[in-house]
Amino acid sequence: MTRIIVEQIKSEIFAPDEAIFSLAKKRIRASGLFRDPVNFAINRRSIDARDRDNVHFVSSVVAEVEAKQGTRAEDALLKKFGIKYMSGWDLDLSYSKPWRKERPVVVGFGPAGMFCALILAKCGLKPLVLERGGDVDSRVASVDRFYRERILDTNSNIQFGAGGAGTFSDGKLTTRISDPKCAFVLKTLADMGAPDDIVYRAKPHVGTDVLRTVVKNMAQEILRLGGEIRYNTRAVSFGNGRLTTADGDTVAYGTLVLALGHSARDTYSYLMDQGFAIEAKPFSVGVRIEHLQEEIDSALFGRFAGDPRLGHAEYAVSHRLGAKGVYSFCMCPGGEVVAAASEENTVVVNGMSRHARDGVNANAAIAVSVDREDYGNDPRLAIEFQRSLERAAFAAGGGRYAAPVQTLGDFYEGKALREPKRIRPSYMNGNCHVADLNRVLPKFVSDGLKTGFTAFGRRIADFDAPDVPITGVETRTSAPLRILRGENYTCPGHPDVYPCGEGAGYAGGITSAAVDGITVALAILDNNLR
């Protein structure tokens, strides 16, 4: 038997799965290529809400079939009926040579580090993971203390700690990459406690509350397989098979994986000081915008708003500004804006939501692209560009990590007069201060945001209403630099060092970072065991 996927099956939102399977069966029979299909399952399901009066599901279905002629049909003929063969991906962990080095060391326990360590552990290499932040529970306690007492732990916070920045997010698993390893990532996350539907939803998400359990289970699995994880352990230097921690301990390694996360600025500086090949890259900065979730639901779903089969509405919008762009990033339905600073006397915002997405507000980053020329095309200047905005936001907020907030009407007029009332800002339980964000952001960013808000208001009703609040600043949308690596995934001149994941500049989100972690783990095995 062979598995095929029948794509683009439209159905009403109340149609049962059996009705969708029936439509798939009709399409398969009409092709005349296969015998009667069996064992149907939903592969992907998305919401088409382009017409508010005709909101419907678009699904793809997996079925097991047997070709009538006993051979694979041509792709062109399959395409005519919206059918394709299902591609799978399996781990090949069979290697002919034994591991004769010190154990691998993975620096960082975000998605890239977790999946890299998991694969290495599955091969019996007993990796050691060093994570500068705390485990899930102690990290949550550090964040709670920051919210209550305004005391920031610069090593264990919303950026650093078990699970990386994704632990305090919506847990989106959408990605633009088409690597077959994505299926392995989703299946593994489901096995570790994420909802089963992430393997077939078009826009899967886990939610911060469930992600915390997933991260704990991932850690336990790595330990069960013989790995070791040391939390609250910051790497400060390395070379010649030896790594030194901030506590002065020395750790031997056979290979070293740098799964740093996009906020490890001290490690970035160390690498540049040591002459590692690093290049500046484009990134984006902006603000968090908040709306009432029920109003976003109504704007996008019309009369279908509130139907539990649809869940809460989410959006993705973008607009071109000549060579630049302004776009939404990490939209969090029913979520909150979080305090994501990792350095003292700075303000950084991000978004987070729980699996139920049951908060009052929707929020999203609206960001403007920052090109290398905007900050001097130097990785150190890229970091300083981000940092200067974060310090300016701290000052505009009046200190104690209050965030500057402004209504859109005031933002357009360059004033800071009106306190948001109808939509209450959710940052740090309301620890906000009305300020003019035009004075915080570079002019090209402010101008780009205003153009974007206006454009998005033409697509989503009241998106740019004058009393809608924006909170700044969002600066950590991606790493501002890339740690270069060669075809064998190691740093030039450093054959035992493997940059990995979003912090190294090779991913953009949970799924793609996890995939890069797997890719690097397999490269380590190929480079040493074949």
Helices 510-529 and 181-191 meet at what angle, rounded to 10? Answer: 110
Q: What share of the chain is helix, strand, coil (3-state, %, to 5)?
A: 35, 25, 40
Is there a single domain that holds both residue 51 and residue 125? no
- Say what the pLDDT of residue 324 is: 95
Cite the DSSP H helix spans in 326-434.
379-396, 408-413
Question: What CATH number is attached to the domain comprising 36?
Answer: 3.30.70.2700
Question: What CATH number is attached to the domain comprising 269?
Answer: 3.50.50.60
In a domain, 97, yes or no: no
Summarised one tens digit per residue, pLDDT across range 159-202 is 999 999 999 999 999 888 888 899 899 999 999 999 998 987 88
Pairing of strands 242-245, 235-239: antiparallel
Overall average pLDDT of the 391-405 stretch: 98
Residue written as token pair 């040493």: 528
- Say what the pLDDT of residue 389 is: 98
Nearest-angstrom CA–CA distance, 161 and 389: 24
Longest dimension (CA), the chain: 74
Overall average pLDDT of the 83-89 stretch: 81
Q: Burial level of 76, CB count in 10 A (0-12/13-18/19+)?
A: exposed
Q: Of 56, 85, 114, which residue is a domain's last? A: 85
What's the whole-number average pLDDT of the chain?
95
At 77, the pLDDT band (50, 70, 90 cuts) reads confident
Is there a single domain that holds both residue 50 and residue 172? no
Is there a single domain that holds both residue 173 and residue 250? yes
Overall average pLDDT of the 518-525 stretch: 97
The contacts of residue 47 (CB under 8 Å, 6+ apart) are 13, 55, 56, 57, 58, 310
Output 487 or 200, whichever has higher pLDDT.
Answer: 487
Please answer whether residues 359 and 426 qualify as being in contact, where contact means their C-beta atoms are separated by less than 8 angstroms: yes
- Say what the pLDDT of residue 200 is: 78
SS3 386: helix
In a domain, 180, yes or no: yes
Q: What is the DSSP letter of 35?
A: S
Overall average pLDDT of the 306-331 stretch: 94
- Say what the pLDDT of residue 354 is: 96
- Say what the pLDDT of residue 75 is: 78
Question: Token pair of 501, please?
Answer: 């994941």
Overall average pLDDT of the 349-374 stretch: 97
Is there a single domain that holds both residue 428 and residue 501? no
Torsion of CA 305, 310, 314, 316, to 10 degrees: -110
- Say what the pLDDT of residue 3 is: 87
Give the 3-state secondary structure of 76-138. Answer: HHHHHCCEEECCCCCCCCCCCCCCCCCCCEEECCCHHHHHHHHHHHHCCCCCEEECCCCCHHH
Is there a single domain that holds both residue 454 and residue 519? no
Q: Which domain holds residue 255?
A: 105-279+479-529
Summarised one tens digit per residue, pLDDT across range 118-139 is 999 999 999 999 999 999 999 9
- Say what the pLDDT of residue 87 is: 74
In a domain, 18, yes or no: yes
pTM (2 d.p.) = 0.92
In a domain, 463, yes or no: yes
Is there a single domain that holds both residue 441 and residue 493? no
Is there a single domain that holds both residue 109 and residue 237? yes
Is there a single domain that holds both residue 111 and residue 34? no
Q: Of 55, 85, 115, which residue is a domain's last? A: 85
Summarised one tens digit per residue, pLDDT across range 241-277 is 999 999 999 999 999 999 999 999 999 999 999 999 9
Nearest-angstrom CA–CA distance, 312 and 307: 9
Summarised one tens digit per residue, pLDDT across range 208-245 is 999 999 999 999 999 999 999 999 999 999 999 999 99
Output 388 or 179, whichever has higher pLDDT.
Answer: 388
Is there a single domain that holds both residue 271 and residue 305? no
Overall average pLDDT of the 427-453 stretch: 98
Is there a single domain that holds both residue 286 and residue 273? no
Secondary element (H or E) of residue 522: helix 510-529
Res. 74: pLDDT tops 90: no
Summarised one tens digit per residue, pLDDT across range 142-151 is 999 999 999 9
- Say what the pLDDT of residue 1 is: 80
Q: Of 451, 474, 497, which residue is a domain's last? A: 474
- Say what the pLDDT of residue 70 is: 61
Question: Token pair of 211, please?
Answer: 């992600």
Give the 3-state secondary structure of 269-316. Answer: HHHHHCCCCEEECCEEEEEEEEEEHHHHHHHHHHHHCCCCCCCCCCCC
In a 13 Å sphere around the CA of 480, the CA atoms on its Cβ side amount to 27
In a domain, 214, yes or no: yes
- Say what the pLDDT of residue 478 is: 95
At 71, the pLDDT band (50, 70, 90 cuts) reads low
Is there a single domain that holds both residue 459 and residue 317? yes
Q: How many domains are contained in the chain?
A: 3
In a domain, 486, yes or no: yes
Res. 449: pLDDT tops 70: yes
In a domain, 93, yes or no: no
Output 90 or 190, whichever has higher pLDDT.
Answer: 190
In a domain, 95, yes or no: no
Amino acid of residue 208: T
Is there a single domain that holds both residue 128 and residue 273? yes
